[in-house]
Structure 1
Amino acid sequence: MAQAFKVVFTGTLDPTVNPEDVVRDFAAVFKVGEQQARELITAGQARVLKTDVDADNARRYQAVLEEIGIASRIEAMTAHAADAGDAAQPVASPADSLAESPADAPAADWAGSGADAAASQSAVSLAKPAAERMPTSAASDALGRQPPFGPIRHRATHGWYWITQAWQQFKAQPRLWLAAVALVYLVTFALSLVPVLGSLATMILGPVFAGGLMLGAQSQERGGTLRVMAGFDGFSTHGGQLALVGLLYLVGLFVVFIVAGLIAMATGVVTAGSMDALSSSDPDIVAAALGPGLGLFLLVVMLTMVPLLMLYWFAPVLVALEGMTAIEAMRMSFRGCWKNIVPFTVYGLALFFILLAASLILGVVSALLAAISETLMVVLMLLVMPLMLVFAVLVVLSIYSAYRDVFHTTTQSQGAHVF
């Protein structure tokens, strides 16, 4: 019979959190009354919160408690203790499964009151900045092994859910998000004006800015206010590893184009003659030589780009918020994308059609306004930039919401709730 474990509230909280906030969050996440949660949390006594779970689920429950600000530990259960616990601690509620809706918090419904456990241990620091906290992927747990951290497979509909969640987060602080992303774009645009080195710097620093924005998204989700300078926070939080992600991505781009070129030449998509045509000053000759082949070459490039994008997509947020190294983050990013390839396909198509619909609408309106007045046409062009900025913010926040859903949604629970 598999070893069973129990999750024990040590009776202590993270000293940097407000106990009332912990009470409120505990009640909301675990669907219990605030008074019941307050009695449990403020008693200062160790309590058994969950019994008879396997090691993986025990760690997941512990991670949920840590996010709230509650210190806990995991203890192995002997067969005798498990039987005695079942007899002494009846389950007060049959609700023992995680919320299926992705909008729900990643935890099970907890209910009841329970028995004392052993003496409390030191509270872990959970409300500190991400740079000061030990990442989930690196922390050791009470079992002496690394706690599991990995992607969770979701249904296709989650691809659209990531976008809707991003929109809701944007609506909460729209002006701040527009300002923060606009500032990042202005800085990267200024860097790109520097010949050669500026473009390389933009590619390498891209994940650093992205990591800062992810930190801002996390801060907002936890009730904070987004800083306009949030995009620059990545320089002080794992900046070296974030820049390494950008460097590896840049190297990957070179490799992709080399591989795509070799494949294109091997399959006859691009020939030596078409390559020679590139040196011609006559655009008609270039178009005739590369017309069909260029389209196929670009298709090959796109197909070879997909694995690289999978390596990169979650890497900045995993480095910034989980403290992973660049290599670890890119591997984990690939796993997360591969395991959720179906919702990611839905997500990509949804963003594409949103952009396509907006482009078509703007095109029609532009044509109508151009026929009426050139002044109105100029006004419309000035409005396009904010709309594109909104789309950019939506992409940034959808990456964060996808990260939360893929890497911080717990699996189906098991065992008994006792507290």
Structure 2
Amino acid sequence: MHLNVVPARTGLAWARQGVRIFWRQPVALTALFILFLACLSMAALVPVIGFLVVLCLMPAATLGLMAASRDAEAGKRARPSALFSAFRAGPAYARQMLLLGALYAGCFIVMLGISALIDGGQFARAYVSGNRSPAEMFQVPAVQAAMWLTLLMYMPLSMLFWHAPALVYWYRISPLKSVFFSFIACIRNLRAFSVYALAWVGIFLLWSVAVGTFTTLLLLTGLLGDSGSALALSVTAGMITISALALAAMFFNSLYFTFVDCFVHPVPDAPAAEPAAA
């Protein structure tokens, strides 16, 4: 396994591949993403520590979506069981992936703790609780500063863990080493990842424009006005929700291709028998 440095235009190819692989199995991959959200939502319901449980499971869950993308790329059907690939591979893999998740959770908590030094923890409490906070709170300069600082700190955090689950699962690399190699891979391919990010920003903007145009047309035709039917409103809301889920699924599908191109050695067909210790 060796690091590969790719040209900037590869970032656009990653986004295209995510969209392309989604349309091979749109129903299965959308359903899998909904299952991904449902599992994390149920984990969040755990009393007191629900937020930490979600953070600990995030690497394993993300790996599951990458495994599904790999299956779809190979012409196999993306099955719900792919989401649990890290745990189905055996106790050793489950332990290493949970250790990686604990490392991610620890880094995330430290990040929120640093932001709390600015606003006394208002933004951190709102983020952890998941409750809708009053808009007035985000007008407070200290809260705004904490929010932007958190966003700024999350960029290097995401680079640390971007490839880490796949490195642990497919290449037997320990959690600590996988975090290091993930960060180096992202830094060395920063131009490609910048193009990749811009591509997805463009895709989401196009989707927003399409949704806005569609809704405006319905309003102009009176289907969503006072005289419009409740059925038309429900159908429109459903279409917007499904398209948003599909778009998010496309993004997660593309993660696998960012991993494959950043490392020269071919991805094994199955995880190795025993991952490396931390």
Q: C-alpha offsets along residues 38-69 of structure 1, whole Å, 9 cap, x if unaligned?
A: xxxxxxxxxxxxxxxxxxxxxxxxxxxxxxxx
Amino acid paired to 2:224: A
**TM-score, reference length from structure 1:** 0.54
Q: Is the 8 A contact 2:65 2:82 kept in 1?
A: yes
Q: C-alpha offsets along residues 330-350 of structure 1, whole Å, 9 cap, x if unaligned?
A: 111101111111111111122
| Cα deviation, residue 222, structure 1 | 3.3
Secondary structure in 1 aligned to 2:201?
helix
- Which one of the candidate residues 240, 243, 254 is aligned to 2:109? 254
Which segment is superposed worse, 366-375 or 241-250?
A: 366-375
Residue of structure 2 in register with 1:111 after alignment: none
Secondary structure in 2 aligned to 1:370?
coil
Residue of structure 1 in register with 2:275 after alignment: none
In 2, distance between residues paired with 1:286 and 1:233?
Answer: 41
Q: Is the 8 A contact 1:366 1:377 kept in 2?
A: no
Amino acid paired to 1:176: A
Higher strand share: 1
In 1, distance between residues paired with 2:103 and 2:58?
Answer: 12
Residue of structure 1 in register with 2:259 after alignment: 403
Amino acid paired to 2:110: V
Aligned CA distance change for structure 1 residues 257 and 199 (closer, same or farther; 3 Å): closer
| Structure number with higher relative contact order (C-alpha < 8 Å, ≥ 6 residues apart) | 2
Amino acid paired to 1:256: M
Q: Is the 8 A contact 2:115 2:150 kept in 1?
A: yes
Q: C-alpha offsets along residues 93-131 of structure 1, whole Å, 9 cap, x if unaligned?
A: xxxxxxxxxxxxxxxxxxxxxxxxxxxxxxxxxxxxxxx
Residue of structure 1 in register with 2:274 after alignment: none
Secondary structure in 2 aligned to 1:153?
coil
Aligned-residue identity in percent = 27
Query: Unaligned stretches of 5+ in structure 1?
Result: 1-148, 265-269, 411-419
Residue of structure 2 in register with 1:229 after alignment: 81
| Cα deviation, residue 285, structure 1 | 7.8
| Cα deviation, residue 305, structure 1 | 1.4
Within-5 A mapping of 1:136-285: 149-237=1-89, 238-262=93-117, 264=118, 270=119
| Cα deviation, residue 402, structure 1 | 0.8
Q: Is the 8 A contact 1:212 1:235 kept in 2?
A: no
Amino acid paired to 1:314: H
Q: For this pair of structures, how many residues does the alignment match? A: 247
Residue of structure 2 in register with 1:302 after alignment: 151
In 2, distance between residues paired with 1:179 and 1:304?
Answer: 32
Secondary structure in 2 aligned to 1:184?
helix
Aligned CA distance change for structure 1 residues 194 and 229 (closer, same or farther; 3 Å): same
Aligned CA distance change for structure 1 residues 298 and 161 (closer, same or farther; 3 Å): same
Q: Which has the larger radius of gyration?
A: 1
**TM-score, reference length from structure 2:** 0.78
Q: C-alpha offsets along residues 59-100 of structure 1, whole Å, 9 cap, x if unaligned?
A: xxxxxxxxxxxxxxxxxxxxxxxxxxxxxxxxxxxxxxxxxx
Residue of structure 2 in register with 1:384 after alignment: 240
Aligned CA distance change for structure 1 residues 291 and 321 (closer, same or farther; 3 Å): same
Query: Unaligned stretches of 5+ in structure 2?
Result: 127-133, 267-278
| Cα deviation, residue 271, structure 1 | 8.3
Q: Please give the root-mean-square deviation of Cα atoms over the aligned residues, in Å.
A: 2.7
In 2, distance between residues paired with 1:389 and 1:284?
Answer: 26
| Cα deviation, residue 294, structure 1 | 2.7
Amino acid paired to 1:370: L
